[in-house]
Structure 1
Amino acid sequence: MNRWFPFLDWMKSYDLKEDSKGDITAGLIVAIMLIPQGMAYAMLAGLPPVMGLYASTIPLLLYALFGTSRQLSVGPVAMVSLLIFTGVSGLAEPGSDEYISLVFLLALMVGVIQLLMGVFKLGAVSKFISHAVISGFTSAAAIIIGMSQLKHIIGVDIEASENVFLIIAEVFSRINEVHLPTLAIGISSILLLIIFKKKIKKIPGALVVVVSMIAVTGFFQLDEAGVNIVEDVPGGLPGFSMPAFEISAINSLLPIALTIAIIGFVESYAMAKVISAKEKYPIDANKELNGLGVANIGTSFFSGFPVTGGFSRSAVNYDAGARTGLSSIITAVLIILTLLFFTSLFYYLPQAVLGAIIVVAVYGLIDVKEAFHLWHIKRIDAVSLLVTFSSTLAIGIEAGIATGVIFSILVFVYRSGKPHMAELGYLEKDNIFRNINRFPEAETREDTLIVRIDASIYFANISYIEEQLSKFIYGKKGLKTVILDFSSVNDIDGVAMDDLEQWIDNHSAEGIKVYLAQVKGPVRDLFRKAGWIEKYGETIQYHTIDAALKDSKNMR
């Protein structure tokens, strides 16, 4: 039961007196934050604002039951909303019945993919996406999201929606069409949100801005002056509906569904790990996939759209004192009450306010410091970040993340294809062997070469290793012995083993004896299977370099 219902873990030790206070407070604060955010992110996804509220109910309840993080706040997020718009807007007109139907199907597909990944224990997939790639993609996507909201903030219906450069060009070409009352509302909302975010953190700025702008717009009837408002927000709970299954639609949505499933999980899991490390309880990547999968499947049947764990809301939830998943349940209940009784209050909410909420929310995702940090430490990682960032801006969301992932894989292959190798010398005072480039005082002998290989050996790097060994050998006169330190070799494949065997035999024929020292158990097992123990005997099984060196002298 605990495997599928992790909430049983925190329920067993729930302290009603201590834990409930934090959960109730956090649930209330996140609900106040999520109501305007959910509506804004629905608008970003090309959907009616009320669907943001729908997506903030059932998924929260399901994740609280199936997820392992006790403080993660699941619901609509800007990144996923942008991916939804990117993937579905090419198939149907945003906001149309066909578009909404495709979004329901997309949510179901995302949920099924995540659930299957969890069932087949594929949570480790997140480790194969470089942090540099995620940072570059997130920063570029944040800029795209912010630019996509310009049309709501300036009151001009901009046709370009994804390409940042086209959006900027169109804004400048239509600058004389800017609707000044809308611009005033948008700029004022952004400034107020920033002030509350930086100076008055204890008060939910989004709620203050939403309430004040609704009051101003309604009192002065600014909608009659051309300010776009949300108007009627349907009340009541979403009914149960079955997503429409069409093979052609599934095939068209599959690439974006895979992207959302993986990116959503990576974003959610990263935040969950940060909080769990502070609170000292375990997080299971595969159970997290199960929780997110069930949440997305659930939202597809109740008029929602794909969701994941949000950075900012989770941080607020944690800082507000959330102790368990009950805080998310309280948030969902409060939003359900809003749907039942209070949707009419949003009639005069300007769309410029929702756009401002999105802009301020994603501003913090632009991580310039990380680029400089990586450039200072390891420049190739900074290059991976910049490649992902620039390609996402230039060629789009899906192609950008794909380019970044492919580039990072190529960087990994390039690195592993040229492993670090070092000639070792003896430090008498410490009785240890060390890299002679870092320890010039280390003693070496002309008739003996000791080399450490600092990587696993496989088909892609064996040629480079042999080339480097040849360079070391050519630098020695009267060489009689080569000792290979295998202390850093964790694995070796069959192709590399065959090549290394031939290399050893060729040098033995030339009168150079090759010894292997400090070979790890799993590698010795492979040597045994390949018949090396019978062929080379003790010469490949020395536990220390000293032992190999001593034996080599005795055998001359």
Structure 2
Amino acid sequence: MAGAAIIVSLQQLKGLLGIVHFTNKMQITPVLISVFKQRDEWSWQNLLLGFSFLLFLLTTRHISLKKPKLFWVSAAAPLTSVILSTIFVFILRNKTHKIAIIGELPKGLNPPSSNMLYFNGPYLALAIKTGLVTGILSLTEGIAVGRTFAALKNYQVDGNKEMMAIGLMNIAGSCSSCYVTTGSFSRSAVNYNAGAQTAVSNIIMASAVLVTLLFLMPLFYYTPNVVLAAIIITAVVGLIDYQGAYKLWKVDKLDFLACLCSFFGVWFISVPLGLGIAVAISVFKILLHVSRPNTLVLGNIPGTPIFHSLNQYREALRIPSFVILAVESPIYFANSTYLQERILRWVREEEERVKANNESTLKCIILDMTAVTAIDTSGIDTLYELRKVLDKRSLQLVLANPVGNVMEKLHQSNILDSFGLKGVYLSVGEAVADISSSWKAQP
């Protein structure tokens, strides 16, 4: 959401600089072009007043972050800023004509618009098409905003409830002259920055808005736009998580790439497409892990029956004449060919290593299937073909610890008949001990 936060902040440059003719586009390039193109409209009075209250708001936010007991300082700062700036502009109204103010606002509620709903006519098909696209985008944006603040507040977001809420709000709004409703990013940020803890804050806010619309609108005549811009900037700046991005870079480069592409996609294209880019990269990552699962070479921890990765545990030792491999994913059509090629490559590399070091000849390959949670017919065929290939090279293939549903499918396919009595074991340690004993018993 850092990209959206910056986009929202850039939109506030109109009020902060006092620009009258400002672009209605959200992307960073047209916004910056509009800002510098309208330099003659910049107002030093707006800049001075805006940055003064922006500094005040950021200071109160910093105080509340450093001393949580003073949370009320940042919570009261936006309202205090509106009251003080309105009084200031009212007193100096004859000398502050270059500071843009809200001006006259009509009192009362929106008129009913249910009589304007038509379910026939030439524009019905266009309305349905536009409504579907707008609904999907509104839902996407609303859930994205909700999950951002859910992560900050440590609670869960129910997508079904969000969808129903947004739908009901828009149905009610269409009957009362409202525009399309979604999860407002800027207002949610202001609400969060004010210290709201529960949904009761929305009820209080709605009640306050209702009272304001009915009785208090004239009081906002002299409220400067620049202060409202400063409040929004302060609220959204706190959503830029530099530490989170750095953590992604350290932990998972693909996640960082998705974050970076989404960030610049929001900047230069749009919020929905930026989110779409992140989703596309995440789907690509899933497909990559599914089609190229991780495989490990295992070794024995001395003095124990435990086997772990040779790369992860330096004390793990290879077992002479054995290659012990672990597959960390289900085996099915999407990755079965890759796994067969990868296992054969491990075997070939081990044979070359044994030959180079004059060690015991490789005789047995143990496939640890503890992490193989599922298998389909393609995976079963792969195991059968792998056993045949290894048999031709005088190598024995053994399966260790296939889980319940995998074992059931192997049994139903009759593939276990081809492995024989010493083809499946409960654990890697049991397989190594039993097969080693059988070799020693041979004359």
How far off is 1:170 after superposition? 3.4
Q: 1:447 aligns with which of 302, 321, 343?
A: 321
1:420 aligns to 2:294 (yes or no): yes
How far off is 1:222 after superposition? 5.8
Q: 2:40 aligns with which of 176, 199, 204?
A: 176
2:258–2:277 CA contact under 8 A, matched in 1: no
1:499 aligns to 2:373 (yes or no): no
1:256–1:398 CA contact under 8 A, matched in 2: no
Relative to structure 1, the CA distance from residue 383 to residue 509 in structure 2 (aligned partners, 3 Å threshold; closer, same or farther) is same
How far off is 1:350 after superposition? 2.2
Amino acid of the structure 2 residue aligned with 1:482: I
Distance 1:421 1:172 in 2: 55
Pair member with larger Rg: 2
2:12 paired residue number: 149
Name the SS for the 1:233 alignment partner. Answer: coil
Structure number with the bigger relative contact order (C-alpha 8 A, sep ≥ 6) is 1
1:195 paired residue number: 59
Q: 1:259 aligns with which of 132, 137, 147?
A: 137
How far off is 1:297 after superposition? 3.8
1:522 paired residue number: 405
2:89–2:96 CA contact under 8 A, matched in 1: no
2:219 paired residue number: 345
Q: Which runs of 5+ in 2 are unaligned?
A: 65-70, 355-360
Name the SS for the 1:225 alignment partner. Answer: coil
Q: How many residues align?
A: 411
Distance 1:236 1:350 in 2: 22
1:479 paired residue number: 362
How far off is 1:292 after superposition? 4.6
Distance 2:137 2:398 in 1: 49
Q: What is the aligned-residue RMSD (CA, Å)?
A: 3.0
Deviates further, 516-525 or 535-544: 535-544
Name the SS for the 1:424 alignment partner. Answer: strand
Distance 1:193 1:506 in 2: 71
1:421-469 deviations in Å (ceiling 9; x for gaps): 2212222312211222333443434422111112222333333322321
1:484–1:515 CA contact under 8 A, matched in 2: yes
Distance 1:303 1:480 in 2: 79
Distance 2:284 2:389 in 1: 33
Relative to structure 1, the CA distance from residue 290 to residue 163 in structure 2 (aligned partners, 3 Å threshold; closer, same or farther) is closer
Amino acid of the structure 1 residue aligned with 2:53: S
1:150-208 deviations in Å (ceiling 9; x for gaps): 12221221236323123223323432331333333333332232233233742411111
Q: 2:231 aligns with which of 349, 353, 357?
A: 357
TM-score by length of 2: 0.81
Relative to structure 1, the CA distance from residue 441 to residue 225 in structure 2 (aligned partners, 3 Å threshold; closer, same or farther) is closer
Map residues 222-241 of structure 1 onto 2, 5 A cutoff.
Answer: 225-241=97-113
Q: 2:126 aligns with which of 242, 245, 248?
A: 248
Q: Which runs of 5+ in 1 are unaligned?
A: 1-137
How far off is 1:247 after superposition? 2.5
Map residues 272-283 of structure 1 onto 2, 5 A cutoff.
Answer: 272=150, 275=153
Amino acid of the structure 1 residue aligned with 2:182: V
State, as a whole percentage, how many aligned pairs show the same letter: 26
Distance 2:433 2:280 in 1: 48
How far off is 1:263 after superposition? 3.1
Relative to structure 1, the CA distance from residue 250 to residue 540 in structure 2 (aligned partners, 3 Å threshold; closer, same or farther) is farther
Deviates further, 387-396 or 287-296: 287-296
1:508 aligns to 2:391 (yes or no): yes
Amino acid of the structure 1 residue aligned with 2:55: L
Map residues 294-309 of structure 1 onto 2, 5 A cutoff.
Answer: 294-304=168-178, 305-308=180-183
Deviates further, 337-346 or 262-271: 262-271
1:301-327 deviations in Å (ceiling 9; x for gaps): 3344413383552464555xx5xx555
Relative to structure 1, the CA distance from residue 383 to residue 270 in structure 2 (aligned partners, 3 Å threshold; closer, same or farther) is closer
1:129 paired residue number: none
1:271-294 deviations in Å (ceiling 9; x for gaps): 3466465xxxx8755445444543
TM-score by length of 1: 0.66
1:193–1:205 CA contact under 8 A, matched in 2: yes
